[in-house]
Amino acid sequence: MNALAQLMTWKTAVAKIPYGGAKGGIGCDTSKLSVTELERLTRVFTHKIHDLIGIHTDVPAPDMGTGPQTMAWILDEYSKFHGYSPAVVTGKPIQDLGGSLGRDAVTGRGVMFGTEALLNEHGKSISGQRFVIQGFGNVGSWAAKLISEQGGKIVAVSDITGAIKNKDGIDIESVLNYTKEHRGVKGFHGAHPVDANSILVEDCDTLIPAR
């Protein structure tokens, strides 16, 4: 957490974006909690930190295990103490609460642009390259989707449930639909399972660590 907070401090300072530099979270398995439990947990957490965050102090953003609904709960709870303050969090629902279009894809799109720039420096392009992506959460899944749309071949991906590989290329749209239903890549039939610990050494042209 300390390391992540330092990185966030430097990133926002270099970009001159007043989002502060904190990191925080709750140690829990969100997949084992009901929506009601998640809401109560989020609101209690916000109640305890509302004096530490603010539109000119620190602006929380969604990360692992969170999303637009989580940010909406934080905004609502924070507003009980400080008045309606939609700028206190990013990643809000687009409708009604003023979330930004493209926010869900922005980090993965950044990975795609960075990868494209790096390949261009070496006289290559995304099209035709073979990619391995470690991590298939918000960042990794969007990166995989956008890279495949640019003609890149995703040959292996992994997440917290396991890892899968197909040397001929994985159908990313199918994996995305599968993970929505099964909450992970494990068991996907369009590729064969591999040891998640070997994902970093799978044969590819470009490795993207996106955990």
**Edge-to-edge strand order for the sheet containing 162-165?**
192-194, 162-165, 153-159, 130-134, 206-209
Active site residues per annotation: 23
Separation of alpha carbons 107 and 103, rounded Å: 8
Separation of alpha carbons 71 and 123, rounded Å: 42
What is the residue type of 198?
S
Instruction: For the beta carbon of residue 180, count every other beta carbon within 10 angstroms.
Output: 9
Find all residues with CB under 8 Å of 211, minimum gap 6, and list them: 134, 135, 137, 140
Pairing mode of beta strands 153-159, 162-165:
antiparallel
**DSSP for residue 120:** H
Q: How many CA atoms lie within 13 A of 104 on its CB side?
A: 14
Separation of alpha carbons 92 and 100, rounded Å: 8
Instruction: For the beta carbon of residue 174, count every other beta carbon within 10 angstroms.
Output: 13
